[in-house]
Amino acid sequence: MSTLTVSLAQMNVRKGLPRTNWARMQEFTAHAAQNGAHMVVFPELWDAGSAFEKGREIASNLSGGLFAQVAALARQHNVHIFGSLYEKRGMGIYNTVAVVSPVNGIMGAYRKIHLFRHAGEDKWLVPGEAPLALDLPWGRTGFAICYDLRFPELFRRYADDGADVVIIPSAWPNPRLDHYRTLLRARAIENQCYMIAVNRTGEDEDDGTHYFGHSMVVDPWGEIVLEVGEPEGVYTVALELERVKEVRRVFPVLGDRKL
């Protein structure tokens, strides 16, 4: 595959309302498939947002519940689907991206390593323990979630593992838009890979937190390929995968690393 068509599904996630969000998610997936997308990416915890106190009742096992429904939806529309959900695993609840293939079903899971203490996420969720990079039809792909973006070591691990693309479902609120944009470009430049970030939009009904959207794709040179505003919607873009090899060949900075 030389060209990867990506749909960014920017949602106004309704807090604590998984049925409402699931209905919207299905609409957006159908739209992405109509646009010819190979993958559609949703925000962090698109099932219920920051309803951490309800996480245990909302969460499902990786092989069942909403995860199974998403896998069936991927098969139906012949598209890969990424976005994080509440996952029940053992005694713990995790913030998890399932790697959902239309052919192979759930191929793996990335569980958010860096929990956002500032919002109390660590009081309700269990942190993940390992990075995840997989070979997908378009190339080696790594996964991260929202606050992980502030920790460059994770993304260097992915570069060392040969990742061409890193996917980041997010829920970044105001006033940190400049941080989000700067960090996405920095990670792309540092690791010479595509960064695909889908951020939620809208307001938290309880505390009024405003999420700014601005889902975006950054190329391996740090150029912004696509950046959207705040409205909900499905935004589709085609990425030239040879761009990764080209940038790494012309400017082989990773080969000069000493530490």
Active-site residues, by number, are 44, 112, 146
Q: Which residue has the tokens 């190979």?
A: 38
Which residues 6+ apart lie within 8 Å of 1 measured at CB? Answer: 38, 137, 138, 139, 241
Contact present, 60 and 40 (Cβ < 8 Å)? no
Q: Which helix (H) or strand (E) holds 240?
A: strand 233-240
Q: Cα 183 to chain center, whole Å?
A: 15
CA 226 – CA 45 distance, rounded (Å): 22
How open is the CA angle 78-80-85, to the nearest 5 degrees? 130
Round to whole Å and give the CA distance between 254 and 113.
Answer: 25
Place of tokens 């191929």: 107
